[in-house]
A and B are shown apart, each in its own frame.
Chain A
């Protein structure tokens, strides 16, 4: 039987499915395991089994087993004796033996609901979902009034990736148990989790409210809810629930069901926020981290999350301080050294960055990060680069066009995946006015050709005019670096070519680089001169693009192994008015890219606050949610 999926958010309730008799020492079988009508009653056998039950209740396991054996000698066809033997074997941890006895018991008397139930639980434990389903179903049909069979059946279906089928069984399991009993809470939680999974959100939220009413100050509940929402990618909810769990713990509440400390949860929240690009929120969560009580490795990780968050937020100086602390806390982690060296470099402290890199290289000379770090540091020592800091102010004003093979609109512009799962794109940009620090970029034109978004992709290339100065190229690389400060950015393949963005008429743009690529697009404007199809978009140079006519798009740069013809596919145009502040203040939609399939909450906030245009509908994402619209946001 293949294991189709882990139980994920349901996992914590699985504990309840351990055959009860194996871990509680109780004997829950007595009533259900009475001799059924299909078995002949034998007073001597009944007496032996009655004594065996008494022994078992009193903890005299071996005596109970001996009496079962006596009973089987008297009647080798006693299903009840086999069942009782199975219960004893479960208590002794001999699951294979228990299973054999359960199977024998069921063979002799298929009407023993308790035997089916315990066998189902054993199958469940060994991840034989379909066998478990069969046995739970048998127990249910035989009239399991406790709802355990319904509940187990639901869990087996979930484990077999049939969550929608499980919901009626969970519902029945909830209805069959008193609201004040111990199991009610778990069953309701499981029902709610299943409903969220199959997107029955209204019902799930109703059950969530019921759970909150039952345990309003239980930090374990909120932690579990946070985990559930994380798994369901309901990240706002996840953040809120984890935060509530942490708040309750901070108020002195506790729960034996919660194995995590307050600091663990704060760290988890920080990590969640980091993952959502809410870098300052991540740092804020760690303000409440219990630095005194946490273990060194946890502290190191917390400092790392802080440092990385600060670096991502463009605060390199503070980032390097945190990452230095992380290194001191966990000097066994090479990644921390590399991250710290990079933050030091971004903060402009080349000498300290080199020291940190040397420490890492001495400890881990074979680490694949070492050559890249050393090469970047080596190059930054060169005079032409050394006088251009990473943190200079910059501004770009101009226009740019991009062609690619995607559909119109392009799903990757709204936080999805490329239409065809690959994206051989070419962009051409003309900077009318611009500078990076003291380096003027007026009249600077550049183009990029790349296929990196596809299945592995091909090498990319940057094309610049032969007249571009070294300083301008370094400046452009620095600007691209500020798009994502967290890791080194390098133009690896730079080609100086005759490059001009020609404009045969007011709305047509044309680029032809001999032997390399050829592009022609026309802006698609209405009678009043407004773009026909303009939208908020993920783009490094502007938060809005307009779709244009792709008249010609061919690349045949054999040297760079780039070759395609996507004429007639997608083209877009943007006006550029971009500033270093736009990235520092995190106002660019592209800074929140997570491939979720559609604009995420942060992006929608930016779209609203910047009054960006939206389309009536956006394309379905290949790897994400179905067709959605953000019109009216």
Chain B
């Protein structure tokens, strides 16, 4: 069967041809445009484990992992270079970074293509990006700051490119946007970006560039692959064309963590637990339905409600009748944004997947 499978793969690769077809190419649909390109070993999110549903912070070994290329192994002395449209470019080692005034922020980070498991929360300690940019002296024309990782590889061409994302200057200068060197009180582990990574609170995870080795000041929108070919939301217009926008700020979202989908519970009082977050905004309300959406009940929000960080919630459900129940949860933020009930059928990308989270559980 191997030969058939190989042939099958060949067929697939053929159907995705077109790169070399003059004037066909400009319009050819390519799936690569709509899903993040990944190295084969990174084709899926390694989800958060949620071993303790009531814990605010996710331990490093349970924190979700999603990479674009192979994990680089950087030495402790690996330098971070600040360059571009700055008056005094410089490089700084993690040790020297540690001598600068530190700032900590608790951040929930979600993968832009996450349905359920690609979201975690950690305490990050580092130096505000603004401090480094100030030291370099930004040119007045600077509009964007490019964050470059040490992870790199080949995508659609023979040329190796690094993973890099750009954020607007305003976000880069926000005091909570940091170059982090500690996670949950310990050095950042290799898979989470050792020795330094960016933390861009409230924005989807790809902007918190891991293995950070470069900060570049730009006077124009970054036209690099990871800014123009992926992480673009695309919604078809009803006649022709589409609306497109960059995927950046995390959308309001909530999850049921316990019980898990498909679990069985005993009749009686069942504590439903979960998390909800709203990126740069605050969670205003989280509601649960146990009757397929006929009625929604607010749940109990347990910790401080603040931007960037998820809220732990719980709900005491009196499971009296036996049978299979469908539970859905939805959150609303302090700006009135509410989770949509289902996927927007005109979206052709796979980002911002924030529709209601639904699980099924059997009472028996």
Task: Give the interface of A toward B (CB within 8 A).
Answer: 260, 264, 267-268, 271, 274-275, 295, 297-298, 301, 304-305, 308, 335, 365-366, 368-369, 371-372, 374-376, 378-379, 382, 384-385, 402, 410, 412-413, 415-418, 421, 423, 425, 427, 448-450, 452-460, 462, 470, 473-474, 477, 480, 483-484, 486-494, 537-541, 558, 561, 563, 590, 593-595
- Cβ of B347 and Cβ of A460 under 8 Å apart? no
Expressed in whole angstroms, the Cα–Cα distance for A290 and B20 within the complex equals 36
**Are B31 and A417 in contact, with the CB atoms below 8 A?**
no
Interface-side segment among B22-30, B125-133, B209-217, B311-319: B22-30
Nearest Cβ in chain B — how far from A38, in angstroms?
49
A369 to B30, CA, bound (A): 11
A493 contacts B242, C-beta separation under 8 Å: yes
Chain A nearest Cβ from B350, distance in angstroms: 5
Residues from chain B with Cβ under 8 Å of A493 in the complex: 241-242, 244
State whether A385 and B225 are in contact (beta carbons under 8 Å apart), knowing that A368-B35, A375-B345, A379-B346 are contacts in the complex. Answer: no
Q: Which of A260, A368, A384, A480 is B31 in contact with, Cβ under 8 Å?
A: A368
Could you mark each residue 79-96 of chain B with 1 if its beta carbon is under 8 Å from any beta carbon of chain A, else 0? 000000000000000000
A456 & B155 in contact (Cβ 8 Å cutoff): yes
- Against A, the Cβ 8 Å flags (1 = close, 0 = not) of B116-150 are 00000000000000000000000000000000000
**Cβ of B19 and Cβ of A372 under 8 Å apart?**
no
**Minimum C-beta distance from B359 to chain A (A):** 14
B18 within 8 A of A: yes
User: Please, could you name 9 A-B residue pairs with CB atoms under 8 Å apart, sorted by A?
Assistant: A371-B349, A374-B343, A385-B239, A425-B23, A452-B26, A454-B157, A456-B229, A474-B240, A539-B23
| Residues of chain B in range 1-52 having any CB-CB distance to chain A below 8 Å | 1, 3-4, 7-8, 10-12, 14-15, 17-31, 34-35
- Per DSSP, are chain B's interface residues mostly helix, strand or loop, or mixed? loop
B238 at the interface (CB under 8 A from A): yes
| Chain B interface residues (CB < 8 Å from chain A) | 1, 3-4, 7-8, 10-12, 14-15, 17-31, 34-35, 115, 155-159, 161, 221, 223, 225, 228-229, 232, 234-236, 238-242, 244, 343, 345-350
Which residue from chain B places its CB closest to the CB of A449 in the assembled complex? B26
Give the complex CA separation of A487 and B25 in angstroms: 13
CA distance A558 to B235 in the complex (A): 21
Of residues B27, B30, B236, B238, which shows the largest number of chain A Cβ atoms within 10 Å of its Cβ? Answer: B27
Q: How far is the CB of B234 from chain A (nearest CB, A)?
A: 6
> How far in angstroms is the closest Cβ of chain B from A157?
27
Whole-angstrom distance from the CB of A399 to the nearest CB of chain B? 14
Quick check: A375 and B347 within 8 Å, CB to CB? Answer: yes
* Chain A residues, Cβ within 8 Å of B221: 558, 561
Given contacts A275-B10, A413-B22, A453-B19, list 14 more A-B pairs with CB under 8 A.
A371-B348, A378-B236, A412-B20, A427-B23, A448-B26, A452-B26, A452-B30, A470-B240, A486-B15, A487-B29, A489-B28, A490-B29, A490-B242, A493-B241
Q: Are A456 and B14 in contact (CB under 8 A)?
A: no
Q: Are A382 and B242 in contact (CB under 8 A)?
A: no
Contact of B238 among A295, A308, A379, A418 (CB under 8 A): A379
Report the separation of the CA atoms of residues A275 and B12 in the bound assembly, to the nearest whole angstrom: 10
Would A372 and B27 count as touching, CB distance under 8 A?
no
Contact B239 A264 (CB under 8 A): no
Find chain B residues with CB under 8 A from A384 CB.
238-239
Closest CB of chain B to A209's CB: distance in Å?
28
CA distance A418 to B346 in the complex (A): 34
Q: Given contacts A271-B7, A492-B234, A594-B17, is CB(A425)–CB(B26) below 8 Å? A: yes
Known A264-B3, A271-B7, A425-B23; judge A375-B155 contact (CB<8 A). no
Q: Collect the chain B residues with CB atoms within 8 Å of residue A412's CB.
A: 20, 22
